[in-house]
Structure formats: C-alpha cells, structure tokens
Chains A and B, each alone.
Chain A
C-alpha cells in the first residue's frame, strides 16, 4: 500500500495531507506509517491548507540534472500556517535573496517533475 499518490493528489489541490495519531494526536506528513512520538499505527487523515511562511531557503545556481532550464530558482522549507509542521518544495523565478526574505508568505500550488511546487502568496 502506498499513500504517496493520495498525498500528491492533495498537493495538486493546494492542500497538505497529514496524519494525526489516533493515540497521542501528534501530526505527521502523510508519508509516515508509525507515530514518531508514541509508535502507534492508527491515524486519522487531516487536510491542512497549503499556506505558510518561508522557514528557510536557498537559491540554486548550480542545479541537478533536469533543473537547468529553471535556474536560478529557490528551494524552500515552508512552515505550515497554524501547525508545527514544515514542508519543502520548488519555488521558481527567484534570483536574489531580496525577493524572498525569511517569513515571506508562500503556498503550495501543485506537483510535477519539479516536485512539490510553491509560489509566493
């Protein structure tokens, strides 16, 4: 059983599929199978809005294969609004740190061959 596709489907509608531990309530990204906090294996799905703020980021100028045509671009770790959870992804069209200060509001817009795609709100 893989729940990756379900996770990607949620990302494509701008959401983050998380799993809430049925025992301790700890929230995880949906790609976790046992609770990191208590080891329990039953979860309930919880859909979060894919909006948040830049926790940290980089601007890539020497890319891995497949990303040449997008360079320069940002790779961002986003803190999800209202939750103690972070998710990372690709954010195009960024050439200078002044364009993306830490704390900038960003959101998830989809998933493709660049992974999870973010854009500025």
Chain B
C-alpha cells in the first residue's frame, strides 16, 4: 500500500454565499491546487462530494469542475453519503491512491442550500434518515439528535447547560477562524434562552445550514516529496456503519459506526486515542460532540460532559476538540464538511492555522458521519 499524503488544501468561507454551487466548487478546488503547487494536468482524477446539487440546479458536478480546471479528459465522480459525504469521498480517494491506481487526486466537497430557506432544508435533510420510520413520521434531524440528548440526560448525570458549553467552546474557537459561518462568541445563557427547536435541543445547540466548498489534493509519498516539504501524512483511515434508524440501536447514547471507524483508523496508524493532539469531530448538534468524544475513545462513556465542564476539550487544553469551530460555529455545508475537516487538519499540521493553532500538534483526527451516524469515516493525520 502506498503512503498517502495531503499536499494542499483550500476552502471558501462557510456561510450564506451568493456564488453558484459550480463557482464555489471551482474556487475551493483552485485554492487547493495553488496550495499544493501543482499543475492541474498532474491530477489523475476528481472526487466531488455533494448532497443537494439539485437545489442549485447542478448535479453531475465532476465533469463540470474538471472542465473548468482544464482537465476535462480526467475521470471524476460524485459521492453522496448525507452529512458524511466529504469524509466518505476522501476515503475512496485515499483508497485509490493507496492502491496505486492514481498518483494525485482532487477531493472537493460542496453544498449550496441556504437560498432554499429553513423549511426546504429541514424537509430535504430529513430524507437522509430512514424515511419510513423517521423523516416520514415527523422526525427532523434536530429531533433525532434531541432523542439521543434526551436519552443521555436520562442515563447520565448531565444537564442541558452541559450541552450548551459545547456550543460556547466551539463558538470561541470559530471566532478565531476567518472562514467560519457564525463568527461570534456566545454564552451559556444565550444558548439556554434560544428558541427550542426539538426538545431538549435549542437553536444554539444546532449547527447552521451553510453554503461552502472545501478541497484537498492528496497523493502518494513520492509525488508529495517531489513537490513540497510541507505536506501531511494520512496515517489512518477507517469506516463503519450503524443501523440506519435509532430504533435499530440498543443504546441511544453511542454511535456504533464511530467506534468501528475509529478502531480501524487507530489500528492502521498503530496509535491510541491518547496520541491525538486535536480532533475535528462531527458536532452537528452539541450532544453529538459529547457522544463523539466518548465513542472516539477520548473519554469513558458518560464522562464526555465532565470533560466539557472541566474545559479539557478547549483549544490548547488536554485535547483540542474542534479547533476550527466545528460544524457548530464554522458551519455545516453538508457535502463539504468532511473535506473541510481535512483542510483544518492540514492547516493545523503545517503551521497555517493562525490564531486557532493547536500548539505542538503532531497528530490530528477527523471524524464525520452521515445522518445519525449510519455511515462514518475517521482519518488520522501526522505532520512530517
């Protein structure tokens, strides 16, 4: 298996963007190509992750992007795996480079939905659930995670204020990120007083609907060494699945696919959770970050709330969780999010993270899932 490296990375700002889905996909891709310092002709294939291209009248994005990059002859494909599309696409690109099929590939994720309004997005996002049992019975995505939150509150010594602390922390990190969607500091009181969306989750427990695109160039080690001294190694890649419904799970306070993906990634890398300096985790809702940090092995089950209370997951503490601001503050353009996490890992490990830099960071983890964690990918990165 070839060693796989991230050679360059770029993102648009996340938020409400005026440019079209095609334009922002190109903007991020060009930024990644320039960051990598390569000629587009050196790209062997393009992996584009996106869920609701139909909302901005453009599906089959791959050939459109490749044509705009002057490499229309190169193969491309689109990958949809709900909110986990970006990391799943990254994984497929990783596997093809590792297997030796390609030397260098473009991995770009994108979403453009904010122009459709809250009802459209709430409704269409609910199609990512097993619709017969969940979306079709009135369960929105906030509602599904709220059901996990209710179970967590019942099972462990946790409060809604504990959940609010996740939002406060991630907004503090996102405040330092010029690309973040919600770039403002908030208080526990702000969260507690925000409107209830799906009890017990309130508006500020939820990530925003965002537009945005993120892109990375990944390649084998020989290609990386020939182009740069400042690249990042992908040392672990893992995937897993969970029952598509919450009802299919014995426990509502854990996500099986996260555990499976993390175990596979740690095993490939030959490391343990203790070796990780920072992690970009899937905090679509505050409860999700708490569950994630437990399932990824950073804390025992039920101890994630204690960790957030004690500030052990803040920037430059015991383990920096979501230094970018996470989905909660940086934003969640669902097809781009998993790739955006890799952009953050690249910037952190190559000294490009600015004010939000994790000090002495050598190993970073990215964790991204689709729906309530029905699909999941975890990746591990190391500085060279």
Q: Is A102 an interface residue (CB 8 A)?
A: yes
Q: A63 with B200: in contact, given A31-B132, A56-B150, A75-B138 (CB under 8 Å)?
A: no
A115 / chain B contacts, CB cutoff of 8 Å: 132-133, 136-138
Contact with B along A110-121 (1 / 0, CB 8 A): 000011100000
Determine if A65 and B119 form an interchain contact, defined as CB atoms under 8 angstroms apart.
yes
Q: Is A50 an interface residue (CB 8 A)?
A: no
A78 to chain B: closest CB distance in Å? 8
Q: Select one of B120, B195, B199, B252 contacting A77, CB under 8 A.
A: B252
Q: Which of A38-81 contact B (CB under 8 A)?
A: 55-67, 70, 73, 75, 77
Contact with A along B102-145 (1 / 0, CB 8 A): 00000000000000001110110010000011111111101110
Q: A56 with B147: in contact, given A64-B123, A115-B133 (CB under 8 Å)?
A: yes
Q: Select one of A59, A70, A88, A97 contacting B245, CB under 8 A.
A: A88
27 A-B pairs in the complex with CB atoms less than 8 angstroms apart: A29-B247, A55-B252, A57-B150, A58-B142, A58-B199, A59-B199, A60-B138, A60-B143, A64-B135, A64-B140, A65-B119, A65-B122, A65-B123, A75-B137, A86-B248, A87-B133, A88-B133, A88-B134, A90-B137, A90-B138, A97-B150, A97-B199, A97-B200, A102-B150, A102-B151, A102-B154, A114-B137
Contact with B along A85-97 (1 / 0, CB 8 A): 0111110000001
B244 to chain A: closest CB distance in Å? 11
Determine if B133 and A60 form an interchain contact, defined as CB atoms under 8 angstroms apart.
no
A11-B133 Cα distance, complex, nearest whole Å: 12
Q: Is B148 an interface residue (CB 8 A)?
A: yes
Contact with A along B62-98 (1 / 0, CB 8 A): 0000000000000000000000000000000000000
B198 / chain A contacts, CB cutoff of 8 Å: 58-62
Q: Is B54 an interface residue (CB 8 A)?
A: no
A58-B142 Cα distance, complex, nearest whole Å: 9
A116-B136 Cα distance, complex, nearest whole Å: 9
A67-B126 Cα distance, complex, nearest whole Å: 12
B134 / chain A contacts, CB cutoff of 8 Å: 75, 88
Q: Select one of B120, B123, B138, B201 contacting A114, CB under 8 A.
A: B138
Q: Select one of B142, B151, B246 contacting A88, CB under 8 A.
A: B246
Q: A58 with B137: in contact, given A63-B122, A88-B245, A88-B247 (CB under 8 Å)?
A: no
A64-B121 Cα distance, complex, nearest whole Å: 9
Q: Which A residues lie at the B interface, using CB under 8 A?
A: 4, 29, 31, 55-67, 70, 73, 75, 77, 84, 86-90, 97, 102, 114-116
The chain B residue sitting closest to A31, CB to CB, is B132
Helix, strand, loop or mixed for chain A's interface? strand
A55-B26 Cα distance, complex, nearest whole Å: 46
Q: Is B197 an interface residue (CB 8 A)?
A: yes
A62 / chain B contacts, CB cutoff of 8 Å: 118, 122, 140, 142, 197-198
The chain A residue sitting closest to B249, CB to CB, is A86
Determine if B146 and A58 form an interchain contact, defined as CB atoms under 8 angstroms apart.
yes
Determine if B148 and A56 form an interchain contact, defined as CB atoms under 8 angstroms apart.
yes
Determine if A87 and B138 form an interchain contact, defined as CB atoms under 8 angstroms apart.
no
B195 / chain A contacts, CB cutoff of 8 Å: 61
Q: A61 with B132: in contact, given A55-B252, A88-B137 (CB under 8 Å)?
A: no
The chain A residue sitting closest to B119, CB to CB, is A65
B216 to chain A: closest CB distance in Å? 33
Q: Select one of A56, A61, A89, A102 contacting B137, CB under 8 A.
A: A89
B127 to chain A: closest CB distance in Å? 9
B245 / chain A contacts, CB cutoff of 8 Å: 88
Q: A56 with B140: in contact, given A61-B196, A87-B247, A88-B246 (CB under 8 Å)?
A: no
B149 / chain A contacts, CB cutoff of 8 Å: 58
Q: A58 with B150: in contact, given A90-B138, A97-B200 (CB under 8 Å)?
A: yes
A55 / chain B contacts, CB cutoff of 8 Å: 151, 252
B302 to chain A: closest CB distance in Å? 16
The chain A residue sitting closest to B127, CB to CB, is A64
B252 / chain A contacts, CB cutoff of 8 Å: 55-56, 77
6 more A-B contacts (CB under 8 A) besides A56-B252, A59-B198? Answer: A55-B151, A58-B144, A58-B201, A60-B139, A61-B197, A64-B122
A67-B139 Cα distance, complex, nearest whole Å: 10
Determine if B199 and A88 form an interchain contact, defined as CB atoms under 8 angstroms apart.
no
**Among B119, B138, B143, B200: residue with most chain A CB under 10 A:** B138
